């Protein structure tokens, strides 16, 4: 973690290859597909778009959040007892993987309930902006943490306990909650969303608010 950029890439490449081939086929494909199917089912049931009663969301949160956190707590205990060692942690992580499914549904219920009750106010608008720039914000988090922790940046890997790491997470989120609404006040998309959308349609998308929505082929003009 403390080496230069290409040194880190070389060291991580075999694991990345395994993660994107064998691990993906054996585990991640099924987990991600299962979560996507669960999301589709919840949408079809009217859960994700807020069409269920407030009572349904309260019951879901009261059941799923404690259950999910309880299962994850068992996983944390198991991981601590083995010192997070591989390959034993692969099996200990299953507790967290299962618990995360319940907890995520419970958290979604709480968030949807808050939106239904108009309880989020300015925070809700900020979260909306962050969500509209999800791709850009994801890349931003990856770049910032890479620069902070890896050797080709500030090399801070291993220097923070869990509380310190959580503080960095909060700081990044606060920045994005402030910056995302400001950005979208001037532009229609986040930068990564704009590029992806332009590549998808094969035409430059109008970026700045107030600019014409006319589009031109990528090969014929400059970005709006």
Which tens digit of pLDDT belongs to each residue from 105-149?
999 999 999 988 888 888 989 999 999 999 999 999 999 999 999
- The answer to whether residue 26 scores a pLDDT higher than 70 is yes
Tokens representing 141 are 């988090």
Q: Is residue 22 part of a domain?
A: yes
Q: Is residue 89 part of a domain?
A: yes
Q: Is residue 178 part of a domain?
A: no
Q: Is residue 14 part of a domain?
A: yes
- The answer to whether residue 215 scores a pLDDT higher than 70 is no
Q: 38 with 93, same domain?
A: no
- The answer to whether residue 223 scores a pLDDT higher than 50 is no
Domain end: 119, 154, 175, which one?
119
Tokens representing 144 are 């910032």
pTM here is 0.72
Q: 11 with 28, same domain?
A: yes
- Please give the Cα distance from 130 to 193 (Å, whole number): 12
Q: 106 with 54, same domain?
A: yes
Q: Residue 156 has what pLDDT?
A: 86
8 A C-beta contact, residue 217 and residue 202: yes
The total of structural domains in the chain comes to: 2
Q: 30 with 84, same domain?
A: no
- Please give the Cα distance from 206 to 107 (Å, whole number): 35
- Please give the Cα distance from 205 to 217 (Å, whole number): 10
When pLDDT is averaged across residues 25-34 and rounded to a whole number, the result is 88
Q: Which domain holds residue 64?
A: 50-119
Q: 105 with 59, same domain?
A: yes
Tens of pLDDT along 55-78? 999 999 999 999 999 999 888 888
Q: Is residue 156 part of a domain?
A: no
Looking at every residue in the chain, the average pLDDT score rounds to 88
Q: Residue 222 has what pLDDT?
A: 46
For residue 118, the tally of other CB atoms under 10 A from its CB is 8
Q: Residue 170 has what pLDDT?
A: 96
The percent of residues above 70 in pLDDT, for the chain, comes to 91
Q: Is residue 25 part of a domain?
A: yes
Q: 73 with 113, same domain?
A: yes
Instruction: Identify the weakest region by mean pLDDT among 61-65, 104-108, 186-190, 208-212.
Output: 208-212
Q: 87 with 70, same domain?
A: yes
8 A C-beta contact, residue 146 and residue 157: no
Q: 10 with 40, same domain?
A: yes
- The answer to whether residue 220 scores a pLDDT higher than 60 is no
Cis peptide before 87 (omega within 30 of 0): yes
Q: 61 with 86, same domain?
A: yes
Q: 61 with 105, same domain?
A: yes
Q: 73 with 90, same domain?
A: yes
Q: Residue 210 has what pLDDT?
A: 76
Q: Is residue 78 part of a domain?
A: yes
Instruction: Identify the weakest region by mean pLDDT among 37-46, 102-111, 182-191, 215-224.
Output: 215-224
Mapping DSSP onto H, E and C, the string for the chain reads: CCCCHHHHHHHHHHHHHHHHCHHHHHHHHHHHHHHHHHHHHHHHCCCCCCCCCHHHHHHHHHHHHHHHHHHHHHHHHHHHHHCCCCCHHHHHHHHHHHHHHHHHHHHHHHHHHHHHCCCCHHHHHHHHHHHHCHHHHHHHHHHHHHHHHCCCCCCCCCCCCHHHHHHHHHHHHHHHHHHHHHHHHHECCCHHHHHHHHHHHCECCCCECCCCCCCCECCCCCCC
Q: 60 with 111, same domain?
A: yes
Sign, CA dihedral 105-59-48-128, equals negative
Q: Residue 224 has what pLDDT?
A: 41
- Please give the Cα distance from 157 to 148 (Å, whole number): 8
The more confident residue out of 222 and 183 is 183
- Please give the Cα distance from 54 to 89 (Å, whole number): 39
Domain end: 119, 135, 164, which one?
119
CA distances from 185 to 40, 96, 190 (A): 31, 38, 11
Return the residue matching tokens 């198991």: 78
Q: Is residue 207 part of a domain?
A: no
Domain end: 96, 119, 142, which one?
119
């Amino acid at each position: 973690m403390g080496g230069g950029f290409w040194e880190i890439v070389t060291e991580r490449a075999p694991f990345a290859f395994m993660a994107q081939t064998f691990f993906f086929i054996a585990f991640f494909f099924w987990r991600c597909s299962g979560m996507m199917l669960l999301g589709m089912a919840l949408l079809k049931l009217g859960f994700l778009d807020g069409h269920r009663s407030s009572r349904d969301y309260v019951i879901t949160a009261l059941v799923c959040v404690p259950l999910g956190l309880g299962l994850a707590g068992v996983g944390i205990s198991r991981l601590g007892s083995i010192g997070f060692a591989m390959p034993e942690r692969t099996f200990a992580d299953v507790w967290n993987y299962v618990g995360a499914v319940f907890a995520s549904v419970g958290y979604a219920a709480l968030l949807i309930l808050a939106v239904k009750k108009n309880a989020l106010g300015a925070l809700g608008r900020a979260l909306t902006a962050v969500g509209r720039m999800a791709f850009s914000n994801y890349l931003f988090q990856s770049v910032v943490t890479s620069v902070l922790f890896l050797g080709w940046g500030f090399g801070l890997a291993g220097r923070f306990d869990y509380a310190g790491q959580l503080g960095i997470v909060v700081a990044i989120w606060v920045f994005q909650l402030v910056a995302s609404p400001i950005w979208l006040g001037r532009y229609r998309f986040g930068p990564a969303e704009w590029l992806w959308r332009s590549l998808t349609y094969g035409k430059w998308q109008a970026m700045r608010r107030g600019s014409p929505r006319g589009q031109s082929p990528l090969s014929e003009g400059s970005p709006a």
